[in-house]
Every structure is written in C-alpha cells, then in structure tokens.
Structure 1
C-alpha cells in the first residue's frame, strides 16, 4: 500500500486526539479521516479530512453514514476513540469488514462484558486466580456490607459498576459518609481501598488478532481528577518488568484485540488490577513519546503484516499539560454547515 487511509471515530476525545497525533508522528504514509458529532472537537481539525456524523445512538443513521465514508475515502483501517461507540463496533465489526474490506480494531462482546462492568472484571480475575481487591455490589449485596467492612476497614472506594474516569467515584472514610454516598444509588460497587498513590500503574498492551502480544509498557502514574498527569517509564527496572509480565499473563487469558489498558496498584508486593479498558486510553500519546506508538504498531502488524521488532522504550517521565489550539472561526462554520472538511480547504 502506498498510502494507508485510516478512520478515527470519536476523534474529539482525549485518546482520539492522541491516536491522530501518534499517527501524524509515525513514519507511515497515512491519510487520516476523522469523525465526530460536533464541529468543535479538536480531532476533526488535526486530521486530513473531517466528517460530522450522527450520534451512535441513532444506530442505523450512524451505520449508513459510516459505510458511506469508509467507501468514499477507501478506508483501510478503523480505530474507535469513543467509549460510547465500542458496543456498536463490537456488534457490526464483521459486517463492516465483509462489506468494505476495512479492518476494524475492536473487541468481542465477551471481552467488553468482562471489562465494562467492574463486577465482571473482579469475577474474571477471581476465576483465573489473579489478585483482586475485595469487592461487593450495591444494592445486591447490601446485607454483606457489615462483614465486608470488618474485613477491609475504612477507607473504601465506592464507584459505579459501569463508568470511566473519576466520575461518581468516592473514597469513603466512615459509615455515615457511606450511607450518604449510597443514598438513592444503584449499580454501584464497594471496593477495598489499596493504599499507596505512588504505587499506581497503567500498563498498555497491544495484541494482534492471533493473540500475539505486539507491545507492552508499564507506566508509574500520578493522577489529577482521574487523569494521568505524570507518567514514568523505567524499562530496565525489574520492578517494571515484573508488572509488565504479569499484565501479559492476564492479557493471554482475557484475549483482547488491539489496545488494552490495565489499571493497578501494588500492595504488599502484589499487583492488584482494579480496572481493564480494552481500548486506546488517555496515555496513548504518552506511550508514543516514550517509544511505543500503539496505532502505528497495529497498522504495521495487522494491516501490513510486518514483524514488530523489539521496541526501544525510553527511561523517562512525561508531564502532561494542556495545549490551546487556534482554529479559524470560518473553518468551524464550514464544517458545521457542510459536515465535511478537507485539509486542503482549511483556512490558514
């Protein structure tokens, strides 16, 4: 292929922008086509071509427009950068690939079921004898709360079974606060608090369709409002190597396809995974800076059938800081009016 035409849907998300920026930094000859539901999303203005599409909840309208774009742009690969779109692509992956020939990087419904529900994640870890934080459901297991608290004590985490980032996540210090947090709530989990903010890691692993692990990197991270703001890589450290190898073992059991992120904390010498996200993440761009360009790796391995050589991961830290982008108002108006924008037409 002389040029790879790559579609990034949900391109305005934090990791959608990271995927686009990673591919722009790669040595591959790519044309990037971005989609989103609103013109005021950065990914649309970084890609070579941009389309406004219906929200994924309008399933048939979304599907029709998606297929039109894939055919028009002769798309070779489709990366999904919106968590809301993942179930759609899991359902339609085979149909899209059969009808268009575009490779869709998404997971099976089984993998999504395990990872999107924190209770299912815990049961997966438990079933396969991996360490896991003690966890109960609310309200289903409310009669177990007293025994749970006797076992783990305060503080505890209270979080939604389904959800991302730091939204509605609470560190609860006492029984009174617990009652207040749980008031009029459902579909929650109560989880053992694992101490040691400095011992939190995010591990990114990319897998091919045959289950082969293509890349792996462990990052010690510091959080602010649920987002990684500082990430440190130390590939020569036995400590980091052990964490990476452990997550590889979990990956081989879970069998995800494409990018997968494991959030964990170390406690008493063991790695306790508390969340698995089978998708690109907010640290996708950080990994690229450290030598692991996950979108490029997937294109090379899965589309171009290249062998991925040993990656040179930097021993370094990345500090995240937000950048402001200047976009001409006329460009936004044009995109909003016509639902399409080509880089050749962008106002400089």
Structure 2
C-alpha cells in the first residue's frame, strides 16, 4: 500500500525550486482527515534565506548584555580533582582524626571563606545581585562578577570590636545604619579603589535617579583610611509607606588616581538636589579608567529614626505615603428579587 502511494505521488511531482518542493496531487485519497495537517503547505513555507533575515532582524532589536567586570568565567559547582586528592590525603591523617575526635580541630574560617569566594561565591553573589534587580537598575544592560570580596559592616553601640555585616539583601532598621560603616577588602598590589554607596529606590522626585550617600575615592590598596572622602556619609531615609529600599555598595578598581571632583562636588552637603546621582552615567564617564570589582547591599524600611533625619539632617518636612484601599462596592439590594441569580 505504501509503495503504491509513493509511486502515485512521484508521478505528479512537477518542479523543484531551491529547497521548496511544489506538488500537484490529483489523487483523492489524500483528502482523508488522516492525512490532513495544520502545517503550511510547501508553497507558503519560508526559505532559509528568509528565516535567516528574520533571525538577524530580531537579534538587532534585542539589547546586548555586556560583562563590564574583570572576571569572565567563574568556576562551576564541580569539585576539582586537586581538592578530592587533598581530601583523601587528609582523611588518612591520624593527627587530624584524633583532634577531630577530641574536639580540638581548629578550622581556619578566613581561609575557608576565601576559598569559597573563588568560583561558587562569585557566582552566588552575581545571582543574588541580578535577582534583586541591581544590575538592571544601576548599569542597564551590563553586569559583572565580583573579583574582590567586599566586606562592609556598621558599628554597634557599646561594642567596639563588633559590627553588623552587610551581605546581599539582608535587612536593617535605619536606626542601626545611621553611622558611617567600616569596610575592608583584599586588594591587588599597586591598584587604587573607589567605594560608592547609592540608593536606587529613595529618590523623591525621579524614579530613574539615585541618591549618593557616601563616596571614598583613590584608596591606595587596602589602606582604606588614606582614601579621599569627597562625599560624607548621609544616613538613609526610606520614606514611610514605600516599602523596602535597596542600598548598594560598589567598589571600583583603577590603575592610578582619578580626579572625580568635576563630576561629584558634594563634600558634606545634605542637599538632596546635589546628592542626586546616576551610577550608569558615572560609569560611562569613567569607564576607560574604572572597573567594578566588588558589591554588597542591604534593605531597609521606615522607622522612627527617619523622621529625625528629615527634620534635623535634611531640614525638610517628612513625606509620608499611605495606602488607601478602594471603597467597597455594594450592589443595590432588593427586598423580593424575582427570577434573578443569587450570586450576582
């Protein structure tokens, strides 16, 4: 049966043009519903050239995502062979086994943290930063993988040696982050660094602008105390009724000192107009000199201390937003409804 069908079809093949096969089938058995298909006929299908032009046109309309960091590829979650050999060797050491059994084994936390940052930590930080929309809101269609592990912590009242660490999205009440934070990182020799703290959600008049809360420039290596503070720390002020706000610390690396005085002239000003900032514009103006290498951020929402910031620091009235639910719509009631549904 199949052979006879193929034979009958081959008699009516008339012409081949490129990759499109035109047919003239006069037989009646192909009109059966079994052989019908929703796909277009050979005459209406697009050629490879047409499909290629559509794909190229669609690709031009899409925005290109660019990696602006120093790290292009990060390690996967696979365990390396070197680590497995080391693990197997240490497993057979009697001294380590004895210390572990007697609860005398000391684990170097700092070393473990540094090893975790390389690869898996970089990927985890990148994923969290993208999840919170920070790359999109600060750098547009650009992103980066952190090459340095940035540590930021806020001082705790009464505890000189303790800080509240900033991770990647943890929450703080504004009262606990009212003082200038401490920060540290493991720098590369001969490099300079600049730290910026911005608030992408706090601008009062323009949702596409930010406020610059803190900026320390031209830090030589790890000597954070020798950096030039061109923008003093401004306490955060998430407005009442606007939910959680993000506050982002970005560390830039450059080969030599860069003069930012023409772009940021704030010093100790508390004027919100002068504090208006745009990370994307700042990076575009200095992209030939600076590269983002570290990031961390936290979230905060309104508390009573924000009122003090508006009144005593910013010297302005505190704006407040309240959610007003729409009024409940109650249909007109009838005493004796006749022939009407009960649930309308």
TM-score, normalized by length of structure 1?
A: 0.24
Structure with more helix by fraction: 1
The structure showing larger relative contact order (alpha-carbon pairs under 8 Å, at least 6 residues apart) is 1
TM-score, normalized by length of structure 2?
A: 0.24
